[in-house]
């Protein structure tokens, strides 16, 4: 059962990816890498928001509820029963639910960092609405865990915003996931297989067996 992936503290943690061939996987994607460590360093040096792409895996999702109540105009968090937004000064508001989930990602240098996921990436990443995700989590169904597990140990190109924010009288670094690509490694692997199939069709039978076996060995190493 997928519920076994819950830790004692309630977080949803899954098996970490096998990093034995990780550098090869990143090379296959042909995207320039911008590490989490470099982004963090730039934030501290400039004291400004930093934007950049990283290629990374999801390895953990936090246990908090996956939504908050926000102002319909500016999306800033408000009380569920609030009638006015103190941020944009809008009156007579009806707070609505917005998606929010905190995850831990890991890049090719094994650097780990927490990132915040909002509804901007909800559809691209999970293909679900906020109401659907909330319902699945509230009902504690396997569907919610399946959604999370399906996104772990898969390589994504992530568009991150890093910033310094005040938290309990001190500043900390926070990362927000602004955009996420389709799974990079799976996409490349699918293309790779199609190319092999095309080549196999052009070769004599004996060579087909050799290449087919080679393809099997390559894919097995990257599983």
- pLDDT at 27 > cutoff 50: no
As a whole number of Å, the end-to-end CA separation of the chain is 21
CATH of the domain at 159: 2.40.50.140
**pLDDT, tens digit (0-9, with 9 covering 90-100), for 95-142:** 999 999 999 998 877 788 999 999 889 888 988 899 999 999 888 778
- Same domain, residue pair 127 and 195: no
Write down the pTM of the prediction.
0.68
Q: pLDDT, tens digit, for every residue of 163-200?
A: 887 777 777 888 999 999 877 655 445 555 555 565 55
Domain check: are 133 and 199 in the same one?
no
Between 26-30, 61-65, 181-185, the lowest mean confidence (pLDDT) is in 26-30
Give Dmax (Cα) for the chain: 76
Confidence of residue 28 (pLDDT cuts 50, 70, 90): very low
Same domain for 206 and 99: no
Q: Per-residue pLDDT for 1 more than 50?
A: no
Domain membership flag for residue 7: no
* pLDDT of the residue at 2: 38
Is residue 130 domain-shared with residue 215, that is, in the same domain? no
Same domain, 193 and 87: no
33 and 100 within one domain? yes
* 133 dihedral zone (left: phi>0; alpha: psi -120 to 50; beta): alpha
Q: Domain for residue 6, yes or no? A: no
3-state secondary structure of 67: strand
pLDDT at 159 over 70: yes
Shared-domain flag, residues 70 and 114:
yes
Distance CA 34, CA 110 (A): 13
Question: Looking at the structure, do residues 101 and 194 belong to the same domain, yes or no?
Answer: no
- Integer Cα distance of 63 and 200 in angstroms: 48
Domain that holds residue 208: 187-222
Residue 62 has pLDDT above 70, yes or no: yes
Kindly state whether residue 8 falls inside one of the protein's structural domains: no
């Amino acid at each position: 059962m997928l519920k076994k992936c819950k830790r004692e503290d309630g977080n949803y943690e899954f098996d970490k990816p096998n990093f034995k061939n990780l550098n090869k996987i990143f090379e296959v994607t042909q995207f320039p890498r911008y590490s989490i460590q470099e982004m963090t360093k730039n934030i501290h040096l400039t004291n400004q928001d930093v934007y950049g792409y990283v290629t990374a895996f999801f390895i953990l999702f936090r246990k908090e509820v996956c939504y908050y109540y926000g102002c319909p105009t500016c999306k800033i968090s408000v009380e569920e029963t609030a009638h006015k937004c103190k941020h944009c000064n809008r009156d007579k508001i009806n707070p609505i639910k917005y998606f929010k989930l905190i995850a831990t990602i890991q890049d090719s240098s094994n650097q780990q960092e927490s990132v915040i996921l909002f509804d901007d990436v909800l559809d691209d990443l999970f293909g679900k609405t906020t109401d659907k995700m909330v319902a699945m989590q509230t009902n504690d169904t396997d569907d919610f865990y399946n959604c999370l597990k399906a996104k772990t140990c898969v390589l994504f190109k992530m568009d991150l915003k890093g910033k310094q924010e005040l938290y309990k009288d001190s500043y900390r670094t926070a990362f927000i996931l602004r955009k996420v690509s389709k799974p990079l490694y799976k996409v490349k692997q699918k293309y790779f297989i199609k190319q092999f199939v095309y080549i196999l069709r052009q070769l004599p039978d004996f060579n087909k067996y050799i290449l087919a076996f080679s393809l099997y060995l390559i894919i097995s190493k990257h599983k």
